[in-house]
Structure 1
Amino acid sequence: MSIDNQNAFPEQEKRGLYRAIQERRDVRSQFLPDPIPDEILVRLLEAAHHAPSVGFMQPWDFLVIDSVEVRQEVLDIFERENERAAENYAGDRAQAYRSLKLQGILESPMNLCITCDRSRGGPNVLGRNTIVETDLFSTCLAVQNLWLAARAEGIGVGWVSILDQQELAQVLKLPEDVYPLAYLCLGYVSEFLDQPELQAKGWRSRLSLEELVHRNRWGAGLAPGDELISLLQRR
């Protein structure tokens, strides 16, 4: 069924958006040393700043980190925490884990920490009364906006999640109410991989979308002949 939707983007622009979503990668190994021009960095930050936020609280701040000294301190935290994480696995799985490159802190020309100010907007933020964590959710949307804009600009982004957040906050001298939500590595890359690196290296495979879609209630799968499941299987 075709719907005449005058609010939709032109086809070429829609294809660009969906391409950015499909080809976005968590980059660790393909960074080039070329610096990101300031005008492009501003575009990425502007994209992040236009993310939706509950109560329009806009809880994010952006720490642009190009100091090698600061990045080395962050790398030291990563190495300690990564060694602890490796202890969660045994045998071949442990060997596979240790073979993975999970950060590009020094290889990338720039790091960026996106923080969440948990006090922004005061004690009563519209829409946050019941679900207090909506400030964190909102900041995650800013991260995704930046990530998609970066892919459109040909810039790779890698999220370094194996960090002790309290130690990271101390290194970055964050105020008490400011939480370091996402520590990112940014830079131009030699290539964007055809598939996520963890998938390519056999760590995990992408789940089947049709197995993740429910109808009305959890566990109520789509019935045979349901047009939605037919479309999902043909995509």
Structure 2
Amino acid sequence: MPEFSPVFREQLHDLFRWRRDVRHFRRDPLPEPVLDGLLRTACLAPSVGLSEPWRFVRVDDPHRRAAVRSDFARCNARALSDRAGVDAQRYARLKLAGLDDAPHHVAVLSHPEPAQGRGLGRGTMPQTTTWSTVMAIHTFWLAATAAGIGVGWVSIIDPERIKAMLDVDPALELVAYLCVGYPARPASTPELERRGWERRAPERREWIRR
């Protein structure tokens, strides 16, 4: 294995700290080689049985994007109506503008039973294909952050409706819908923390011992 210097390890810690869920983007697109490079890096992620169950779909068609935006608006309105009082007011103030401004949309899907990997490691924990795809998403995210690129994970959508809009294999599982582009305002702390929605829990940094 290569030997990583203390300077590199400190920079790696900075990378983790600066990896944020970006909600505000500049509209200028990424160079194609940069976007392709992020995909290649994402595919270095570990996967159960070397199954590589992830499928990355670029959503470039404006009509499909508009349909996704419409589904988000519907789901977001329902989420707001399910809240009450101060919590509803706080939720309404959150600015979820990534779908409007981000120059690139990427849907990430996972194959629940890929032939690749021949089922190794999935007999007792079949969810490991989904978890492997999440590892690829995180690898993509870290590589993007290292290149000064922001990523936002849109989860307020209906997965089955989105799959139909994208005309993908119905057997695939939609794991993430990502907004990708240069961040409008980079920050080392989560926006939800800055807006008073939630804060990190110090006790999560301690081992649970048994």
Which interval holds the TM-score relative to the shorter structure?
A: over 0.9
The unaligned stretches of length 5 or more in structure 2 are: none
Deviation at 1:92, TM superposition (A): 1.3
* 1:211–1:49 distance in 2 versus 1, CA, 3 Å: closer
CA separation in 2, counterparts of 1:151 and 1:198?
Answer: 18
Report 1:92-171 matches (<5 A).
92-121=86-115, 124-171=118-165
Residue type of the alignment partner of 1:25: R
Equivalent residue for 1:15, pick from 10, 15, 23? 10
| 1:223 match | none
Deviation at 1:62, TM superposition (A): 0.9
Q: How many residues align?
A: 210
Q: Does 1:24 align with 2:23?
A: no
Structure 1 runs of 4+ with >3 Å offset: 209-212
State TM-score, norm by structure 2. Answer: 0.94
Secondary structure in 2 matching 1:183 = strand
CA separation in 2, counterparts of 1:161 and 1:52?
Answer: 23
CA separation in 1, counterparts of 2:60 and 2:203?
Answer: 39
Could you say which structure has the larger radius of gyration? 1
The unaligned stretches of length 5 or more in structure 1 are: 1-5, 218-235
| 2:80 match | 86
* 1:212–1:78 distance in 2 versus 1, CA, 3 Å: farther
Residue type of the alignment partner of 1:16: Q
Over aligned residues, Cα RMSD in angstroms? Answer: 1.7
Residue type of the alignment partner of 1:36: L
Query: Which region of structure 1 is more displaced relative to structure 2, 115-124 or 199-208?
Result: 115-124
Q: Is the 8 A contact 1:156 1:186 kept in 2?
A: yes
Secondary structure in 2 matching 1:184 = strand
Deviation at 1:158, TM superposition (A): 0.2
Secondary structure in 1 matching 2:4 = coil
Deviation at 1:46, TM superposition (A): 1.1
| 1:194 match | 188
Q: Deviations over 1:79-129 (max 9, x none)?
A: 111111112311111011011123411200000111101231269510000
State TM-score, norm by structure 1. Answer: 0.84
CA separation in 1, counterparts of 2:184 and 2:80?
Answer: 28
Q: Deviations over 1:169-193 (max 9, x none)?
A: 1001111211111100000123212
Q: Is the 8 A contact 2:50 2:116 kept in 1?
A: no
| 1:222 match | none
